[in-house]
Amino acid sequence: MDLNSLYRVYSKHLKEEFGEKVYKLPVNIPCTCPNRDGTKGIGGCIFCGAVGSGFELLDENLSVTNQLKSNSELIRRKYKANKFIAYFQSFSNTYLDFDRFKNYMTEASQFDGIVEIAISTRPDCISQEQLEFLEQLKKDTGVEITIELGLQSSNNKTLEILNRKHSVEDYIEAAKKIKKHGFKLSTHVIVDLPWDLTEDILELAQLLNEVDTDYVKIHSLYVEKGTKLEQMYRNGLKLLSSEEFINRAILLLENLNPGIIIERLIGRIPEENCVYANWNTSWWKIRDQLIDKMIQTNSYQGKNYKSARRR
């Protein structure tokens, strides 16, 4: 089965764009998040754990070059890999002083084989100075820039419950700036938030189409140790079923522009950090069920895209 007939597959896109297989190398820099240190909020989003989504990372005190070197060595040897994406993954990687930001990005761009830098951050946390610097870096080095924004929901009420401390409007504004500067935009969404309704998924699809996001990462809601969500879960919060997750993910895909690249169909979390995730089964089993359902129901990305645009 060619998955590209169901949705636009990220790995295939990378191969087409860069002419060969490209591998992501995580980079860990000392930074936090304005939603954790008191600037915007304390404690962070209800689902955010101690590592801010940065699992399996090297020590943040290692230089960017040393992390890229260490993470690329085995891949170079094993797969004869030549091209890499430096992925600044955990917390808000634009939430640091400009000089440090500049130095980290420059260092990454100079590492042998880097074709892209991916920077994960919050919608309300990117300065004009950073955008202009990245635009120049891209011009000077030819390295592609992708900025990943956590959005999670298209409903401001849900964002409040999640304690995101930013709004849908903040996301739209950031997305516009990112696109205006010629960068790729990647958006993280959680489709099985118990506070969202089916209509919110349709709204989400429309929003992602309208801001012209290049990539979407679909996640299921998982409960990480030590989070506010863990307390809510232990106090009886009812999570959605895997069937509901699959239905919502398919609904999103059917209403998305078929040109948007799907970076991920479902997220995962290491067992040691996990209270509950993916209905206590392997993430890939849920992914396979999702794909099977798409095949059985003759579903595919963009199936209802035109009607989504008319709404």
Select from 41-49, 102-110, 171-179, 266-274 the region that touches ligand SF4 (CB under 6 A): 41-49
For residue 301, the minimal CB distance to ligand SF4 (Å) is: 26
Residue 29 makes CB contacts below 8 A (sequence gap 6+) with 60, 64, 88, 93, 96, 100, 104
Which of 122/303 has CB closer to ligand SF4?
122
CB nearer ligand SF4, residue 45 or residue 201? 45
Question: Which residue among 22, 31, 45, 208 contacts ligand SF4 (CB under 6 A)?
Answer: 45
Query: By rule CB under 6 A, what string of x and - marks binding of each residue 48-87 to ligand SF4?
Result: x---x-----------------------------------
* Nearer to ligand SF4 (CB atom), residue 131 or residue 151: 151
Q: What is the pattern of x (binds ligand SF4, CB under 6 A) and - over residues 18-37?
A: ---------------x-xx-
Answer yes or no whether residue 209 interacts with ligand SF4 by CB under 6 A: no
| Phi, psi values for residue 182, rounded to 5° | 85, 20
Q: Which of 6, 10, 44, 143 binds ligand SF4 (CB under 6 A)?
A: 44
Site for ligand SF4 in 85-144 (CB under 6 A): 91-92, 122
| Nearest distance, CB of residue 90 and ligand SF4, angstroms | 7
Minimum CB distance to ligand SF4 smaller for 91 or for 305: 91
Rounded to 5 degrees, φ, ψ at 192 are -110, 40
> Min. distance of Cβ 219 from ligand SF4 in angstroms?
11
Residues 200 and 207: their CA atoms lie apart, in Å, by: 10
Q: Helix 168-180 to helix 198-211 angle, to the nearest 10 degrees?
A: 20
CB of 23 to ligand SF4, least distance (A): 24
**To the nearest whole angstrom, how small is the minimum distance from the Cβ of residue 87 to ligand SF4?**
15
Closer by beta carbon to ligand SF4, 88 or else 91: 91
Of 8, 85, 148, 150, which lies in the binding site for ligand SF4, with binding defined by CB under 6 A?
150
Q: Which is nearer to ligand SF4, 91 or 183 (CB)?
A: 91
Residues that bind ligand SF4 (CB under 6 A): 33, 35-36, 44-45, 48, 52, 91-92, 122, 150
